[in-house]
Structure 1
């Protein structure tokens, strides 16, 4: 009997995908999910991170396991990587807080489509836990959980593995040095030197010598050759803090270094090859400096490849209790408790000095409290400000400004740790609350962002009434 011969390709063509074999080889947590978010397979790393028992995972929805939530991420006010794929993106990416067996962690989540001969949509989800930041008190690393903090972390993780120059933008005291070290640790250069330079702390006549080094006899007092910081950072990262303070002549030499990867020590003849990744930081408005002619435009474009904005502490009020616990834990063992009244004072302050100011306040409170419970009396500066502060109603304000102040007060009063509860108390949806927090972070009244706020009319109140009905136009 004659049989129809099959080609080798046809013989090897699979009739199904072995999902377990697909995820098991990976060292990081991996799962396969369907269009309905249900987990079809999970590797051992995922089991160990989230459940200890495969039977407790397979068949459940991914957000039920990772978020302890009954609804998908996009319905809880977060980005959903699966939804990105379903909407046509080649792959989805999001940065979330996950509930692992070891506690809450920041997770970089990526989702990719899987070819399936059965034609039912399947997706591969890869989870990489952050090693540089924590949403709960920790003795090292960055700490926070607010939307503004999470957005900053997502940007850090996106750029860290690249070799691109990074510009950190933020007010004094927001932690630019810690963020630069975090980027270095995540990068392929993490095992090499990290060299930090405060450009504002060096005399102008010494900056070039500090950066590029000098040869013996290059100038009066140069009795021996000195290695520059660019050479010291070879293979690693050079962090230039307050780069806006560099004089113009040094800006030209830094630009040459970045564009050619070569430099010449002071008094030297031969050029040297550099091997660094540059991270810069400033609290100044470099764009304005470019317009004023005090900062080179070509250098600005070269260092501003990937800007990362560090939020001020007043833009992440929900992180204050977490930061207080973390800072006290790092300063004292055991750390003293903080009374409710003292915490209310800490939450009501606007922190022009940001986290550096908060640490200063807490160090003083530790001394005044003799290691016992921290009370309002141990926060003398904040107590004085509280007594002399004026009420919102001492002057007539635009309603949009009043709403902004009330939202900031409500976040501080609630601690910012239970946004669904706060949204319910305000009579608005959780998604609307996230949007308003974003407005607060940007320092904009709602009516200046009409496309996002559904055409909000100036001065129109946007919070709900007693029955939860919104008082704003439709779409808010």
Structure 2
């Protein structure tokens, strides 16, 4: 059974990447946008979708991904997932929307897949945006991709230092409000006497010192997103006024009787246990449920240690500029086994100290050890956290460090899309040293030798 040619012609005219494939994952048609993004020099028709998009030899659900086709065959309905796709520019997170097309027997016979890149996150080191590949990171990212296009209030939960403001910005930038302001309110830094005035504004003469009318942060965020950071610290008397804003979309400036309307989307964040604060009476239950329309838990860095090798180069680029520093594979392996009770913020601080302690262009393990030793806070993990042997047993540190170095190098080679010379420069070693390391890993000549190593 073949699909109608009119369907392929229709897909060709769509601006987003689209493919048409059958129940065996074979691509039957691909529009120009898909060809440009995934295979500009080679035809994709007749190839498997998982081969082109993921460079997998088996379907997604057999390689650790969620397969929308498998889900659609079970549900018979449209399915949406978040995937990490290979492109000529590197790996990109992509929102997938798959729609089944029924055959004569009413069962799905063909599938149309629409792809929309999620520009706010990356699966490779980058100077900006959210970075990660771990399962915990991808779960968080999938929730973000779901809620961003909506108007729903979002509550970001998690430990301090996990990047809540960065996630809030990513949600804003992936929403229809991206062209309007994102206004952040640090609820923990505003005293009770100023909170209402800062949030809602005030009229001239409303209180001593109010010599002129002033718009509040809610008004400044009009059309955009209001980010309430550390929302658990909002004074109890102010919580009822915030609740009214969320429920009715209206507010009054201090000293005014005029009812104003707010066109805002609210994203709130806290590291506190709001449910416990509701129980002890310091946080209103109705406000909690109004804010918690769509909660997202940000994972601690100890839950995504595999992402340290991606985060470290990106954070180093930010904290060491204008210097151009590289991290050796052993140093990266040592960074990957720290506990980081302060999460990404602590990793950033550690890298900044490391950069200051390094006089050359390459960060080595000794620089990392010295930076750890100069830290005022112990990096010992909580009792419930199990770290690799390197962090727990000094007697086996050398062998474990070499094993970690091999893993880091293997993963770096797998993601590299440039030449061997570029790979050696990225790792801070010579091409000759890189050749020896690749040979020791049993990787062929083609790995890191001019084309994608994935």
Normalising by structure 2, report the TM-score: 0.81
Q: Which residue of 1 is the match for residue 80 of structure 2? A: 93
RMSD (Å), alpha carbons: 2.8
List alignment gaps of at least 5 residues for structure 1: 1-13, 392-396, 422-476
Q: Deviations over 1:451-474 (max 9, x none)?
A: xxxxxxxxxxxxxxxxxxxxxxxx
Q: Distance in 1 between matches of 2:380 and 2:195?
A: 47
Q: Which residue of 1 is the match for residue 163 of structure 2? A: 175
Q: Distance in 1 between matches of 2:318 and 2:236?
A: 40
Q: Which residue of 2 is the match for residue 102 of structure 1? A: 89
Please list, as runs of the form range in 1=range in 2, the aligned pairs for 1:128-147 lying within 5 A after superposition. Answer: 128-147=116-135
Q: Sort the Cα spacing of 1:361 and 1:16 in 2 relative to 1 into closer, same or farther, 3 A.
A: closer
Q: Which residue of 2 is the match for residue 149 of structure 1? A: 137
Q: Distance in 1 between matches of 2:117 and 2:189?
A: 36
Report whether the alignment pairs 1:242 with 2:233. Answer: no
- Equivalent pair of 2:118/2:174 in contact (CA under 8 Å): no
Please list, as runs of the form range in 1=range in 2, the aligned pairs for 1:38-437 lying within 5 A after superposition. Answer: 38-53=26-41, 56-116=43-103, 121-331=109-319, 332-379=321-368, 380-383=370-373, 404-406=386-388, 413=404, 414-415=407-408
Deviation at 1:382, TM superposition (A): 2.1
Q: Deviations over 1:157-203 (max 9, x none)?
A: 10000000000111111111111111111111111111000101111
Q: Sort the Cα spacing of 1:22 and 1:312 in 2 relative to 1 into closer, same or farther, 3 A.
A: same
Deviation at 1:416, TM superposition (A): 11
- Equivalent pair of 1:15/1:118 in contact (CA under 8 Å): no
Q: Which residue of 2 is the match for residue 470 of structure 1? A: none
Q: Sort the Cα spacing of 1:181 and 1:389 in 2 relative to 1 into closer, same or farther, 3 A.
A: closer
Deviation at 1:407, TM superposition (A): 9.0
Q: Distance in 1 between matches of 2:230 and 2:308?
A: 26
Q: What SS does the corresponding residue of 1:180 show, helix, strand or coil?
A: helix
Q: What SS does the corresponding residue of 2:363 show, helix, strand or coil?
A: coil
Q: Which residue of 2 is the match for residue 426 of structure 1? A: none
- Equivalent pair of 2:3/2:110 in contact (CA under 8 Å): no
- Equivalent pair of 1:209/1:266 in contact (CA under 8 Å): yes
Q: Which residue of 2 is the match for residue 7 of structure 1? A: none
Q: Distance in 1 between matches of 2:214 and 2:171?
A: 28
Q: Deviations over 1:221-270 (max 9, x none)?
A: 11111110001111111000000000111110000011111101111111
Q: Sort the Cα spacing of 1:390 and 1:268 in 2 relative to 1 into closer, same or farther, 3 A.
A: closer
Q: Which residue of 1 is the match for residue 444 of structure 2? A: none
Q: What SS does the corresponding residue of 1:99 show, helix, strand or coil?
A: strand
Q: Distance in 1 between matches of 2:259 and 2:409?
A: 54
Deviation at 1:299, TM superposition (A): 0.4
Q: Distance in 2 between matches of 1:80 and 1:212?
A: 47
List alignment gaps of at least 5 residues for structure 2: 392-399, 415-454
Q: What SS does the corresponding residue of 1:322 show, helix, strand or coil?
A: helix
